Structure 1
Amino acid sequence: MLSTRLQALPRDARDTLFLLAVIGLILLPQLPNLPWWCSTLAAIVLLWRGTLAVQGRPLPARGWRIALLALTLVATYITYRTLLGRDAGVTLVVILLALKTLELRARRDAFVIFFLGFFTMLTNFFYSQSLATAFAMLLALLGLLTALVNAHMPVGKPPLVQAARTAGGMALLGAPIMLVLFMLFPRMAPLWGTPNDAMTGRTGLSNTMRVGSVAELALDEGIAARIRFDDGRVPPRTTLYFRGPVLSRFDGREWSAPPPFSRSAAPRNLRVRGAPVGYEVTLEPSNRPWVLTLDAAPRRPELAGYELFATPELQWVATRPIGDLVRYRAESYAEFESGPTRRSAVLQDEVALPPGSNPRTVALAAQMRADPALAGASTQALVQNVLQRLRTGGYAYTLEPGLFGDDSADEFWFDRKAGFCEHIASSFVVLMRALDIPARIVTGYQGGEINGVDNFWVVRNSDAHAWAEVWQQGVGWVRVDPTGAISPDRVGQFRRLAPQPGLIAGAIGAMNPTLSQNLRAAWEAVNNGWNQWVLNYTQSRQLDLLKTLGFTAPSLQDLALVLLALLVAASLAGAAWTLWERSQRDPWLRLLGRARERLRQAGVEVPESASPRQMAQRLSERFGSGAEPARQWLLRLEAQRYAKAPGDALPALRSEFRRLAWPR
């Protein structure tokens, strides 16, 4: 019914509706990145233009377009406080594409929309280069090519299927060129940047932690990193601590990392034991400078294109935010100690507490110090005493602890007795400092899960974790995870608290408990393959490809030479194809062309469209009976063409042509 109504529309209306649908497909992945007013305005404009096309009404006057453009500029500036940068620029491009449809009158207007659509399609990759985005943009590309081909088709109502078939053929013909350029075009560092978006974090980790400000923690199941351990040897799960920012400064509510200029005061002094663990990390874009490694990595990770340095807190940091998918190798030791082995002034920040903060926790520390059983106890004994309190004191690990007040440690220890890892780690460190034991909070990721499809270890944003480090005389900094004392499953067997599944996921899980997990694992494995072979195809991998081709020490010059050789080979192949195609041309027409050339040499000019009979008549008019053999040959050539059973007379005519004496 709908297809019948569409076929009844005029050609212009039908083509306009198809183009509007393609524009909608281009803009659909951008909706989460656009302000609500931009999405709403673009949808209204596209629906307005579609209604005008169906009803055959005239387009709005120029004043409407100018007013909408002015409104867009004002709204964009109010939203972003600038008209420059990635977000503001994409917003303007989206609205300009929508507004351009309101002046779609002629084919040249359609061409402007086509190329503006191609550009808008590319802006989707500013925000996501995932496989889903690539697939959506591939559909959009085929749609735009179909609309472009359809605009060049003759009058009438040619079927869109025919235009789509031509567009698909064009895309397939261009695919080999695209593949060669992807594999061999030298990859350089970006020559441009997008301002105002460099520090938009996506991983959930931060260099600050405000305790108690979140009443309910919503877990993000997005992937933060994928790890492939050498020879598939995964360390014990209880040792999988991926180090992030270390927070040592506390103002009563918020923990923060020390500024970079003060970090040089504390020596790193890393001491490792045992055998190292080698692994390769595929880190998702975070727009943060942190390079994820297992505790502890003494050597600089092998990350091309970034300059890295290690902080005294054992965290590896890049000199610029990591805004792309990156892959690097690292080596870590599960057994390690770090920091000074003797108490000194450099540890003063790690015992400081704001005056008057958490008085009940401070009183608890004084009570412990006055306990005869703990008199003169070592740091290790005090730590074990506090951990025992967490195990036996009725404390719980929850994602819904409610909002905490200013004295969050007091509320945790004496009132709520429930929280997630940041509450537990913060309260533990406050108590340690009240006991005059240097302590600090380490944030990062803990745990992960194996993907049974591709055997990569997957670390999710929901694995974000906070634990503690305490300082011991003669040893240095030692990891203590107080969350494990309350909920051993969180650190050991990884039976995590998780949000309620959605309607579809819940229905699938109810039918088959493992089906949902298997589907997710398969999809993530496909995405990982996309990341490994497409997004993370770096310059080093290009040079590795040349090694497989026989280059011993490949360079960018070798890469350019190989690309040039392939281009020359492709050009020669195209020339050969052209010659072959010419040879496949109608042999009768080629023979007629040779006859026309003989007539020109004899001084008889005939048009390209002249038939053999017309050529024979012109020959007789010029040379009379002296051209009779050639005239008879031309008539036989025409008879062979239009005979009901032409047979195989063409070779004989071709042989006779070579022996024929043409008049001069």
Structure 2
Amino acid sequence: MALSARAPTALAALVRPSAWPRELRDTLFVLGVTALVVLLQAPHQPLWIIALALALLLGRAGLALQQRPLPGRVLLSGLLLLALLATWGSHGSIWGQQGGTTLIVLLLALKTLELRARRDALVIFFLGFFSLLTLLLHSQSLLTALGIVLALLGLLSALVLAHLPVGRPPLWLAFKLAAGMTALGAPLMLLLFLLFPRFGPLWSLPNDGGVGRSGLSDQMQVGQIARLALDQSIAFRVEFEPGQRPTEQQLYFRGPVLSLFDGLVWRPLHHAQQVAPAGANAAAVLQVSGPPIRYRLTLEPSNRPWLLALEATPELPAIGGQAARLTPDLQWLAAQPVAELTRFEATAFPNFRLGPLQPDASLQIDLQLPAGFNPRTLQLAADLRQQLGPNSPPQAFIDAVLLRLRTGGYQYTLEPGLFGRHSADEFWFDRRQGFCEHIAASFVVLMRALGLPARVVTGYHGGELNPVDGVWTVRQSDAHAWAEVWLAGQGWVRVDPTAHVAPARTSELARLLAPPGLLEGALINLNPTALVQLRSLWEATNNRWNQWVLNHGQTRQFDWLRQLGIQAPQWQHLLGLLAGLLALAALGAAAWLHWLRPRPDPWLRLLQRARHVMQRNGCQLPAQATPRQISHALSQLPCDAATAAAWTDWLLQLEMQRYDPAQHPNLAALRRQWRSLPPLPVSLPSPAPQPSPLPRP
């Protein structure tokens, strides 16, 4: 493929695309594939990067259509310097995952301005391949994989065109060859995917703080978000054993437990580095009873160490080869942040007791309130103690506060507005509205003011059942906050105050939904169930992708080795098995190529045998001698008439078999006759005359 800027005039090119010359067509095809690669990077790059790259590609297409010369080195050097400075300004570096990927995208677009010959096209192809590889650092979802496959086929088609320099091969032929090469390489890719040892991730996924969006965080600052944007992305999926699905009131998945409060921010008491692996201490604070619920949970990457287990899960398997850890407040933590799709199987017990049954020093932290905050809430607590009596049981105070939430005009909303310094006061007396964080935090402040140990628990509640595959899907919008109050003889007891403000939120799993977009609204108006069905089908398909592709890790590989009889599998066994299968595949490919090798014509093989016999017996024949020429050469040999007649008859039958198929015997008969032919006499050359000896003097 000879790529250049030469083209017909812009008007002729635009009016009759079918008349474009080969180099113009191939140039525009390469630019289109490059634009697809750039667009795939759009979700992970700054907007100006994508806009600049697409502008460069459009400019290069305009130069090709208008038959204008390509930019000179001075302009290209200036654009390169601009790209370097802009990348540095956006990321603070031109190295690393973010800066390096941005620079690759810009270099890919800039290289098209030098697209003159096949060598330049090859550089663009390999930059495109590398850019597609960087997409996997950000996402390995099914949608990303489909986009990568489409762009890969486009790049391979352009690469095939570059190696078809003669004529004007159609684009469909190049695509067919590219698809064929991909199909031939698919078995090898599948083998490497299944058996190549899986080590820990080389990079962590980028951390998105998600400020102002639903989801979990390691701290909670109530009142600083005026509007909550619901994040519909999936947090995790859960599969329950048949007949063991919990009720809506039991679908609580526990995350960070917040006990420390400075008046503005709630923080956890226990951090990942402070918690020992689960053991005797965990068993001492957690007591389970009743029928269990077995489940399999697939956790999406969060770059957090939290393992969102169903309450209450006393044991978890090793995650990533390392034991999971259980905090004294019943939060499960992985040894490393969850940077890849993680799946585990566990058993939960909805009936459980947590914490000490009698007062001890560990409860003091859950009674502390900072001085100078929420004075009206403190006064409300004093009024309740006076109203109910100081000797009333703790449950009476809890019931009184929950009655206030049910009957006091409080509302559950996504737009509570900004709260000030005294957030609990504003909730109880002024605004009387908020989402679950406001309600739970204000409830815990009031409980502590009443002298009851209390804390905020964050996690997820509810979800929705996918009707396609029966998997329970929990989204970031299902993030929830509730309270725990310590009661003597019972330990920590879950109290969800949001359920008394909006009962449907917990009993019927109703959600406050963000307004639909333009396309989503059109689908809802056209067919109210179409959007739900399409989303369920897509999520079921994506879940299968997660389970069979992204979740194919070291654990599943080792399970296969155990099925093969290896009791203690290690990654060396995987390498050995992979090497053996690759060797078998190589031998199979060699045997296949041997089978497909060009085979000599059996008729020519018989003719060659006859010629070699004649030559071995002293008869000189050319390499292209025909059967009739060989029969004529028999006269050079001192053979009797019968032998000459037998050979002559066989050679003439061989000739007839080739040129008169209706009259000849088959080759098998000629091959049998060959074995019964009489031997030919050897015709020795006449000895050369010897010089006479010289007479002796």
TM-score over 0.5 for the pair = yes
The answer on 1:220 being equivalent to 2:231 is: yes
State yes or no: 1:303 paired with 2:324.
no
Change over 3 Å in CA distance of 1:656–1:276 after alignment to 2: same
Matches within 5 A, 1:18-417: 18-190=29-201, 192-193=202-203, 197=206, 204-258=215-269, 260=271, 269-371=285-387, 373-417=388-432
Aligned length: 654
Alpha-carbon separation, structure 2, partners of 1:186 and 1:566: 14
Deviation for aligned residue 1:548: 4.4
Q: Deviations over 1:474-498 (max 9, x none)?
A: 3322111000001111001112111
Q: d(CA) in 1 for partners of 2:110 and 2:628? A: 62
Q: Measure the CA separation in 2 of the matches of 1:599 and 1:106.
A: 57
C-alpha distance in structure 1 between counterparts of 2:619 and 2:567, whole Å: 65
State whether residues 9 and 54 of structure 1, in contact with CA within 8 Å, keep that contact through their aligned partners in structure 2: no
Post-superposition offset of 1:603: 11
Cα distance between partner residues in 1 of 2:683 and 2:510: 99
Q: Measure the CA separation in 2 of the matches of 1:184 and 1:261.
A: 33
What is the aligned partner in structure 2 of residue 568 from structure 1?
Answer: 583
Query: What SS is found at the alignment partner of 2:336?
Result: strand
Q: Deviations over 1:482-530 (max 9, x none)?
A: 0000111100111211112223332332333222212211111111111
Q: Is the 8 A contact 1:338 1:476 kept in 2?
A: yes
Cα drift, residue 404 of structure 1 = 1.8
Do 2:39 and 2:50's aligned partners in 1 also have CA atoms closer than 8 Å?
A: no
SS in 2 for 1:275: coil
Structure 1 residues 485 and 86: alpha-carbon distance in aligned structure 2, compared to 1, 3 A threshold: same
Instruction: Please say if residues 255 and 331 of structure 2, whose CA atoms lie closer than 8 Å, have aligned partners that are also in contact.
Output: yes
Provide the rounded CA distance (Å) in 1 between the counterparts of 2:538 and 2:362: 49
1:107 Cα deviation (Å)? 1.6
- Which AA in structure 1 matches 2:334? A
Q: Does 2:536 match 1:521?
A: yes
SS of equivalent residue, structure 2 residue 136:
helix
Measure, in 1, the Cα distance between the counterparts of 2:309 and 2:373. 34
Q: Contact 1:612–1:634 (CA<8 Å) still a contact in 2? A: no
Provide the C-alpha distance between the structure 1 equivalents of 2:53 and 2:360, rounded to a whole number of angstroms. Answer: 63
Q: Give how far 1:652 is off.
A: 7.2
CA drift of 1:133 comes to 0.9
User: 1:648: Cα distance to partner?
Assistant: 7.7
- Cα gap change, 1:330/1:624 in structure 2, threshold over 3 Å: closer, same or farther? same
Q: What is the alpha-carbon distance in structure 2 between the residues aligned to residue 585 and residue 468 of structure 1?
A: 85
Partners of 1:639 and 1:611 in 2: CA distance? 17
Q: Which amino acid aligns with 1:465?
A: H
Compared with structure 1, are the counterparts of its residues 547 and 347 closer, same or farther at alpha carbon in structure 2 (3 Å cutoff)?
closer
Which SS does the other structure have where 1:134 is aligned? Answer: helix
Opposite residue 45 of structure 1, the aligned amino acid is: L
What residue in structure 2 maps to residue 421 of structure 1?
436
Deviates more, 1:248-257 or 1:561-570: 561-570
Helix, strand or coil at the partner of 1:329: strand
Letter in 1 for 2:444: V
Amino acid at match of 2:450: L
- 2:656–2:664 CA contact under 8 A, matched in 1: no
Structure 2 residue matching 1:22: 3-state secondary structure: helix
Would the aligned equivalents of 1:200 and 1:287 in 2 still touch at CA under 8 Å? no
Match in the other structure for 1:512 = 527
Question: CA separation in 2, counterparts of 1:13 and 1:657?
Answer: 63
Aligned counterparts of 2:155 and 2:135: Cα–Cα separation in 1? 15
Q: State how far apart, in whole Å, the 1-side matches of 2:606 and 2:124 are.
A: 47
Match of 2:453 among 438, 442, 446: 438
Which AA in structure 1 matches 2:380? L
3-state DSSP of counterpart to 2:334: strand
Superposition map of 1:631-650 within 5 A: none
- Matched residues in 1 for 2:651 and 2:171: separation? 45
TM-score normalised by length of structure 2:
0.84
Shift of 1:388: 0.4
Equivalence for 2:470: 455
CA contact (8 A) 1:224 1:459 kept: yes
CA distance, structure 2, for counterparts of residue 594 and residue 15 of structure 1: 53
Query: What residue is the counterpart of 1:484 in the other structure?
Result: 499
- Following the alignment from structure 2 to structure 1, what is the Cα–Cα distance between the partners of residues 338 and 25? 46
Secondary structure at the aligned position of 1:153 is classed as: coil
Name the aligned partner's letter for residue 281 of structure 1. Answer: L
Contact 2:653 2:664 in 1 (8 A): no
Residues 236-245 or 430-439, more deviating:
430-439
Q: How far apart are 1:638 and its partner, in Å?
A: 9.1
2:596 paired residue number: 581
Secondary structure of 1:466's counterpart equals: strand
C-alpha separation in 1, matches of 2:615 and 2:235: 76
TM-score where L is the length of structure 1: 0.88
Displacement of 1:442:
0.8
Flag structure 1 segments of 5+ consecutive residues without an equivalent: none
Q: Distance in 1 between matches of 2:337 and 2:214?
A: 13
Give the distance between the partners of 2:72 and 2:654, measured in 1 at CA: 63
RMSD: 3.6
Q: 1:193 corresponds to which letter in structure 2?
A: W
In structure 1, the residue corresponding to 2:312 is in which secondary structure?
A: coil
| Cα distance in 2 for residues equivalent to 1:339 and 1:22 | 61
Shift of 1:569: 2.7
Deviations, residues 366-388 of structure 1 (Å, cap 9, x unaligned)? 211222x3432222111111000
Higher Cα Rg: structure 1 or 2? 2
Q: How does 1:605-616 map to 2 (within 5 A)?
A: none
Structure 1 window deviating more from structure 2 (196-205 vs 13-22): it is 196-205
Q: What is the CA–CA distance in structure 1 between the aligned matches of 2:193 and 2:272, rounded to whole Å?
A: 42
Q: Distance in 1 between matches of 2:171 and 2:272?
A: 64
Could you tell me how far 1:208 is from its partner in structure 2? Answer: 1.2
Which deviates more from structure 2 when the two are superposed, residues 115-124 or residues 340-349?
340-349
Secondary structure of the corresponding residue to residue 246 of structure 2: coil
